Amino acid sequence: MSIETERNPWMSAPPESEDEQEQVEHLRKDHLLLDPVGMEAMNQDALGSMTRHGRWTWMLIVVLGGLAMMAGVGWLVQLFVGLGFTGLNRTIFWGMYIINLVYFIGIGHAGTFISAAFRVMGFETRRPIARAAETVTLFALAAAGLFPIIHLGRPWKVYWMIPIPNQRQLWPNFQSALEWDAMAIMTYVVGSVLFIYIGLLPDLAMARERTGVNWRRRLYSALSLGWRGTDRQWALHESVSTIFAYVIIPVMFSVHTIVSWDFAMTIQPGWHSTIFGPFFIVGALYSGVAAVLVAMGFLRRFLKLGYFIREEHFDVMAKFLLIMSFAWIYFYFGEFLVTWYGNLPPEMTILDLLLYGEAAPLWWLMIFCNVVVPVGLLWMRRVRRNPGILFVIAVFIQVGMYLERYLIVGVMLGRPELPFNYSWYYPGLEIPIAIGAFSFVIFFYFIFTVFVPIISTWEVGEGQFLHGLRKIGRKITKFKSDMH
């Protein structure tokens, strides 16, 4: 096969002198796209990742599956008995189910953002990590979509939220933020699935070509929808991807804004805030990018994808994380400053609760996770380029962002206007179900990597095709094709 030469016509001849060699090595080390190994080798490496799950990974998968099943059993019990085993009470009616919804929707933002927004902005670093991020979105959304249903008192009636004409002349209430939420989430799920699927097509076809005749091949040929890689298909693919990328960005922004409106549209002290829309989006991107970093760490280590996911990607993502951290701090500070200055009694009750009250340990832990750890560490290049430390920081941010939602939903609700009804939330059955949900996401993520190349090889290839090194006199420089 001569894919290599075909797709990389501008690749210069091997460096001549040792000096040149050094220059080239330096640039390549820094930049994946300048380090082509040839399309076929790259394809084989990416496909190989589907079989590189070691014994420990499989054991992890089994354990995660078991935990997810346990959560399923918990839900079954809840279906039959009612929500009594949760920690909800007569003041706090929303608990960890809604927290999980917000959290997973938030996680779901990163994939789309990295994939679509970076694409629109022509951000080349996205190429090898786009699919890993999109997959996070896919399963986080699946989990997030489940929680509103788990949360319901009578989940078997959930279809009443869908506007269907009926003889009872009953429609959903389009005034309700929850109804908007249901529709926004559905739109986002459908959009995200299609977006990731379109991106998958060339690689599914590639997998089809490289698999022996067995059920896998049949699966791939069915899924690849007859992709042959013709020019017309590529052209269509290009335009569809671009359109989708543009369209899904406003959807993404709207979804989390609407999720935030579930809270902001109420008159519950602590919730009733105009800043919630952008604040939630920033929070979502913050936790989402951190989640992608966690996934990247996993993939690089367990599936030995060191070729694709390099320190430079970690570096870029860590910088992005730092920016999101600052943005989040800005919004959080803004929110609190306004509350504090306004000095409304019910709002101040909540501020007191968070800063010095019962919720103070949680609040300060959140500040530590969300502010101290990332801001204190991420400015260091050495940290940004160390996947291990970044992994730990990203996990801290997950904890912090989960706590943030926990404080908003599970704690603030306990301070309604009438002080007689103050309450505190001790989750019960929600904890195993939340653990199950995390397991569910990670479990399916791993299963996904078994069936689908988690690296978008065609995108990486495209990137390499469009980039290269060129020798001008004695100087070797990067160049970028203007074909884009």
CA angle 54, 59, 64 (to 5 degrees): 125
List Cα–Cα distances, 19 to 193, 468, 474, in angstroms. Answer: 48, 18, 10
382 binds another protein (CB under 8 A): no
Query: Looking only at residues 164 through 223 of this chain, which bind another protein when binding is defined by CB under 8 A?
Result: 166-173, 175-179, 182
Task: Determine the Cα–Cα distance for residues 282 and 286; give it in Å rounded to an integer.
Answer: 6
Q: Which residue of 83, 101, 116, 290 would you call a contact of another protein, by CB under 8 A?
A: 83
- CB-based contact 99:405 (threshold 8 Å): yes
Could you tell me where the DSSP H helices lie in 11-54? 18-30, 39-48
Binding mask 388-427 for another protein (x = CB under 8 A): -------------------------x--xxxxxxxx----
Q: Which stretch binds another protein (CB under 8 A): 114-122, 157-165, 251-259, 332-340?
A: 157-165
Site string for another protein, 256-285 (x = CB under 8 A): ------x--xxxx-----------------
Does 158 engage in binding with another protein (CB under 8 A)?
A: yes
Q: Which is nearer to another protein, 94 or 320 (CB)?
A: 94
CB of 444 to another protein, least distance (A): 22
Under the criterion CB under 8 A, does residue 373 sit at the interface with another protein? no
Give the residue carrying structure tokens 């690749």. Answer: 11
Calpha distance 98→276 (Å, rounded): 16
* Whether 210 contacts 295, CB under 8 Å: no
Residue 140 to residues 104, 195, 351, 387, 443, Cα–Cα distance (Å)? 5, 15, 31, 22, 11
154 binds another protein (CB under 8 A): yes
**Residue range at the interface with another protein (CB under 8 A); choices 146-154, 208-216, 241-249, 436-444:** 146-154
**CA nearest neighbour of 264 among 331, 165, 324:** 331
Query: Under rule CB under 8 A, how many of the chain's residues touch another protein?
Result: 52
Q: Is 94 in the site for another protein (CB under 8 A)?
A: yes
Task: Pick left, alpha or beta for residue 225 (phi over 0 → left; psi -120 to 50 → alpha; otherwise beta).
Answer: left
Q: Which residue's CB is nearer to another protein, number 56 or number 156?
A: 156
The least distance separating another protein from the CB of residue 412, rounded to whole angstroms, comes to 10
Q: How far is CA 352 from the centre of its chain?
A: 33
89: which DSSP letter? -
Contact residues: another protein, CB under 8 A? 81-84, 86-91, 93-94, 148, 151-155, 157-158, 160-161, 166-173, 175-179, 182, 262, 265-268, 345, 349, 413, 416-423
